[in-house]
Structure 1
């Protein structure tokens, strides 16, 4: 029994139970988010002359299970513009004079969503004894299988961010002794983020040809993503000590990865994961990477603000918590002895 107490301290036992909790949350989050993807309230546009657009939109709105949330647009140009601006996920162009309608899609946002939309619209058109002609206005790269390269790139950036912060904690203590040391850790993380962002963008783009788009834009996104995750992890460690690494894994891996819209885009996820995904670093960065690669850099202001908020929050919390810790240490130190007076 003494050997057990020596080998497994109470602190180690608590950490083991914490690891078990993270494991179960990992399973629940991934399986819960990804086990049964189905479209719900997907934003789509409908274009048709006269009152035919309203009639078609009403039919789509009444589909069983509510897979679509249609809106009527005046013409094809407006539909294409909203699709490229990522305001809608597809657009149905109805031709009342013929029996074939056109569906504008964008496989760059993820082929899983495109296939789901083709299935939903195909069945709806079949009920009306009509045929569907798909047109991909923002196609995924032939080397970007299932449109997942952007997601895997972001996952790599995020892993690098929290591992860098974790290594700094393991090597010199989870909680920095004072504000100056916290600042040094943040600066080190920033340098790592610049290098990691660049190398990730170069490997994914010019080296492998998996993602089109500006390497410079992806570099900037990568640096911000790595730093945001690293700074947040440093903040968690400053507050919670080594347990902060587990908190970072909870936020980034357990909560962030399945809700990011990577394996299955957001419209295919359950409500909970669809709600939290855009507010977490993985989801915000995945959306932005896809916009850079396939949508001319559109609709990235919100996600970039999310990443900036995580980065700024990590800086502020790290410095504030380290400053408080340093102040308490100084207050606990005994006063220095006064020099004795000269005789």
Structure 2
């Protein structure tokens, strides 16, 4: 390609990438609103009928789950089946929230309750840590994990590590990132307060999912795989993760797509592990495991294909005369 064509390609490509990045990050944030947000309603049907009518006026905003009493609704919040619950009893109305699951959703539910009128008692069933009541530190931890994974996958590729050595390097780096992240987030900053080793495992698995994908695609198609995977994770994985709010607050199908990418699955798994004793962590952990497994498999496959190619005789060798 001539120098002039390269210049034109750069001039055209940079604005396109900038526009894509602005769309990926700004559009979901600008369209934040509840979409089939799981919400519980507890109490006798005659008492909750008015509450349900008020909630269903916002078409498609809430996915209502019915519970017999406050105890059942509280269990549902703690199991992450719902983000909160409105409990109607003869003594009054209560709103159960879980700010640890999403401070933004907890605030939204309080605003909904206030708009409905009447006195509503709010109970934070699973409160956010005192050192991070708004979840800012938690949300800030998603990007560094993605960057660590991209860096590890790129370094392994550029150093020329292949096969078992590459797999070992990726696993070891992810384990160290997990231990370090848990030491910083749990032991030092105290912005997560679950089982220390489980949190370290989620941090490490989230990192490995990204690093294995980067190194795996690069092993199959070459260094361009680094840029492709990094672009997927950074341009779509992070803004679509729902970590600052909740997947159900993002435009469809952004929220669902984000949960199939490592940043979104990692954020959801970490919330479940850190604040809800592992409730609802199975799905996102399996997603991360699939990413890691497929990526490591691609690393091994790429090494095998390259070894086979190098072992095949070249045409010159095949046509060389026998002395």
**Matching of residues 260-299 of structure 1 within 5 Å:** 260-299=241-280
Gap runs ≥5 in structure 1: none
Q: In structure 2, what is the equivalent of residue 75 of structure 1?
A: 69
Q: In structure 1, what is the equivalent of residue 211 of structure 2?
A: 230
Q: In structure 2, what is the equivalent of residue 239 of structure 1?
A: 220
Does 2:128 correspond to 1:140?
yes
Residue 138 (structure 2) aligned to one of 150, 163, 173: 150
Structure 2 distance, partners of 1:109, 1:73, is 20
Does 2:96 correspond to 1:104?
yes
What is the CA distance between 1:324 and its match in structure 2? 2.0
Residues 338 and 143 of structure 1: is their aligned pair in 2 closer, same or farther, counting only changes over 3 Å? farther
TM-score (norm 2): 0.90
Structure 1 distance, partners of 2:13, 2:154, is 17
What is the CA distance between 1:332 and its match in structure 2? 4.8
Residue 28 (structure 1) aligned to one of 14, 18, 23: 23
Q: Is the 1:154–1:222 contact (alpha carbons within 8 Å) kept by the matching residues of 2?
A: no
Deviations 1:250-303 (A, max 9, x none): 221111111212122112111121110111111111011111221122111111
**Matching of residues 72-221 of structure 1 within 5 Å:** 72-95=66-89, 97-98=90-91, 100-123=92-115, 125-126=116-117, 130-172=118-160, 181-221=162-202
Structure 2 distance, partners of 1:50, 1:145, is 34
Gap runs ≥5 in structure 2: none
Structure 2 distance, partners of 1:218, 1:19, is 38
Deviations 1:226-267 (A, max 9, x none): 111100001221233222122112221111111212122112
Structure 1 distance, partners of 2:49, 2:216, is 51
Structure 2 distance, partners of 1:188, 1:17, is 38
- CA RMSD in angstroms comes to 2.5
Structure 2 distance, partners of 1:250, 1:273, is 16
Q: Is the 1:149–1:211 contact (alpha carbons within 8 Å) kept by the matching residues of 2?
A: no
Q: Is the 1:57–1:71 contact (alpha carbons within 8 Å) kept by the matching residues of 2?
A: no
TM-score (norm 1): 0.85
* Rg larger for: 1
Residues 142 and 338 of structure 1: is their aligned pair in 2 closer, same or farther, counting only changes over 3 Å? farther
Structure 2 distance, partners of 1:183, 1:149, is 36
Q: Is the 2:157–2:219 contact (alpha carbons within 8 Å) kept by the matching residues of 1?
A: no
Residues 317 and 16 of structure 1: is their aligned pair in 2 closer, same or farther, counting only changes over 3 Å? farther
| Number of aligned positions between the proteins | 321
Residue 46 (structure 2) aligned to one of 31, 51, 57: 51
Structure 2 distance, partners of 1:94, 1:293, is 30
Structure 1 distance, partners of 2:154, 2:263, is 18
Does 2:290 correspond to 1:301?
no
SS at match of 1:144: coil
Q: In structure 1, what is the equivalent of residue 311 of structure 2?
A: 330
Structure 2 distance, partners of 1:229, 1:32, is 24
Structure 2 distance, partners of 1:250, 1:316, is 21
